[in-house]
Structure 1
Amino acid sequence: MDNKVKFDDKLDKIFTYAKEYLGNLPKDIEVVLKTAFSDVKNLPTLGYNAKKTNDYNDVISLKEYVVKFVDKYTKGFENRPSVRTGNSSKTFPDPIVGKILSIRINTINNNDLKKIVDGHSLQMSIENIVGDLLEEYLSLRLADLGWYCCWGSSIDAVDFCNEKGELLQIKNSDNSENSSSSRVRNGTQIMKWARRKSTKENTFYWEDLIALTGAKNISEEDFVKFVSATIEKNPACIYVANEEMYK
């Protein structure tokens, strides 16, 4: 199958299958579906190889694919920070880290040493969730402007899309961008935005995102308020192995 194959002639069927499965067709899913199917390179595999098979030409296979796609999107949405329960890390701290720290600072006691090592793991978990919080925050602030979140990585390397077919990738920090951000889809460059500058304290790029999206109600202060309210309402989104240790 040609890598640039579009499914414009099948959009009505695609929307019908999604509507039958969901009972309705919310605007956000409609836009994400339309954007995803605008270019075969947007589509997650989900058991099919879109570039080498003709499965999408079969009505039944297309219906099955749409259901899987919607499930992927929905599961991503249902796992957003405001509602999810965090899981314990499956990665154990390297014991040599504590050993090196105890040698370097030989006055530290075992209890404080454990707090530092475990605290580092907790900090990493928190840093990982910041990107998810940013995604959820923007999903609320940008929807009225026609920008919709591609929940569940339903479009590879794209976090938001709009009805114009514009693609946007967001990152929490400018040093966490990856090579996929430079991809071009269907002649459309994936726009990139990072919330903060990693090498300069308290430097943020909200004005750049305002220019890209037309948003007027986003800022670092507003994001901090959102994060605070979200964590206070659902503290379980961040797993803490032993909260008593930090009291």
Structure 2
Amino acid sequence: MVMKSLNTFINGGTLTIPQAKQEFASILDGVSAAPNIKSDLNHLFQCALRYGNPTLFPTFNINKDNDNPLEYMNKWTERYLHAIKNKPSSRAAAIKNSVDDPILKIMIKTEKGFDDKQVDRALDDHNLYMSAENIQGSLLEEYIDTHISKYGWIWAEGETIRACDFIKYNAAEDKYDLLQIKNKYNSENSSSSAIRKGKKITKWYRLGQKKQDGKLIPAYQWKALNEVIGVENEMSEQDYVDFIMQAARKNKNLLI
């Protein structure tokens, strides 16, 4: 198995853009899903095919001897269909499967004067915090989707498109608007370089910072996102807090 994307087949000369459109249309005809889901799938595919170098499709594990792009397109389709049925708020956290470095426990015990029980508690607390941090980005996208899908925005669930998280088709100009979501101002997305030159992607982050009375405090950026969507007061930090609390109450396996 090797990592391949649709770029592999296009750059390798085994697939042209028109052929990709034709093959995907056949795949879409065979998908058993509601018309709105199939429409979203088609828009995601057309958007990923139109922008990028040469496309915005992610890489998957594909049989290294398989030069048939249909395997890739079917996997891409299945990935999206699986994601829409398994929202981040309903998933169970993955159990940590890596070993902790014993030297860190020795360092903490020596410097802080902790006993074994205190060190283990500190480690558990750290792992819990990291679990929350890891899922929070996906929950943020899910929350935003509950508010902006009604305005024509499509969530690229399952990481079906590189470099952006939401797209919206502008029929009047026959183009797609691309929106990239980040949780914090300093959480850079390196995949932005995948966007073809000349195509603008709107980037938004939730959590900034500012100084107040000489101290750094959170500066939430929901007003900026509401302006991108074009609807005043559609989303807010308090509404997002309510969403997170509801998800945490409902799913007791959300965190490790």
TM-score (structure 1 length as normaliser):
0.80
Aligned residue in 2 for 1:75: 82
Aligned residue in 2 for 1:128: 134
Deviations 1:22-45 (A, max 9, x none): 344423323212212223421224
SS where residue 188 of structure 2 aligns? coil
Aligned residue in 1 for 2:179: 168
**Shift in CA distance, 224/174, structure 1 to aligned 2, threshold 3 Å:** same
**Shift in CA distance, 91/77, structure 1 to aligned 2, threshold 3 Å:** farther
Aligned residue in 2 for 1:177: 188
SS where residue 220 of structure 2 aligns? coil
Let me know the Cα RMSD of the aligned residues.
Answer: 2.7
Is it true that 1:113 corresponds to 2:119 in the alignment? yes
Aligned residue in 1 for 2:7: none
Question: By how many angstroms is 1:229 displaced?
Answer: 0.5
CA distance in 2, matches of 1:64, 1:234: 34
Among 194, 205, 210, the residue aligned to 2:226: 210
Structure 2 segments unaligned to the other structure (5+ residues)? 1-9, 171-175, 211-215
Aligned residue in 2 for 1:192: 203
Asked if the contact 1:149–1:159 (Cα under 8 Å) also holds between the matched residues in 2, the reply is yes
Among 20, 35, 38, the residue aligned to 2:30: 20
SS where residue 90 of structure 2 aligns? coil
**Which residue type is aligned with residue 166 of structure 1?**
D
Question: By how many angstroms is 1:73 displaced?
Answer: 1.4
**Shift in CA distance, 99/215, structure 1 to aligned 2, threshold 3 Å:** farther
**Shift in CA distance, 88/215, structure 1 to aligned 2, threshold 3 Å:** farther
**Shift in CA distance, 2/66, structure 1 to aligned 2, threshold 3 Å:** closer
SS where residue 202 of structure 1 aligns? strand
CA distance in 1, matches of 2:71, 2:34: 17
Q: How does 1:12-161 map to 2 (within 5 A)?
A: 14-25=24-35, 26=37, 27-39=39-51, 40-46=54-60, 61=68, 63-106=70-113, 108-161=114-167
CA distance in 1, matches of 2:201, 2:118: 46
User: Which structure dedicates a bigger proportion of its chain to strand?
Assistant: 2
Could you tell me the percent identity over the aligned residues? Answer: 30
Aligned residue in 2 for 1:58: none
Q: How many residues were matched structurally?
A: 227
Question: By how many angstroms is 1:237 displaced?
Answer: 2.0
Structure 1 segments unaligned to the other structure (5+ residues)? 49-54, 56-60, 240-247
**Shift in CA distance, 215/128, structure 1 to aligned 2, threshold 3 Å:** farther
CA distance in 2, matches of 1:179, 1:237: 27
Which shows bigger deviation, 73-82 or 162-171? 73-82
**Shift in CA distance, 132/71, structure 1 to aligned 2, threshold 3 Å:** same
Deviations 1:137-191 (A, max 9, x none): 1111110111111111111121111113111111111111133225433731222
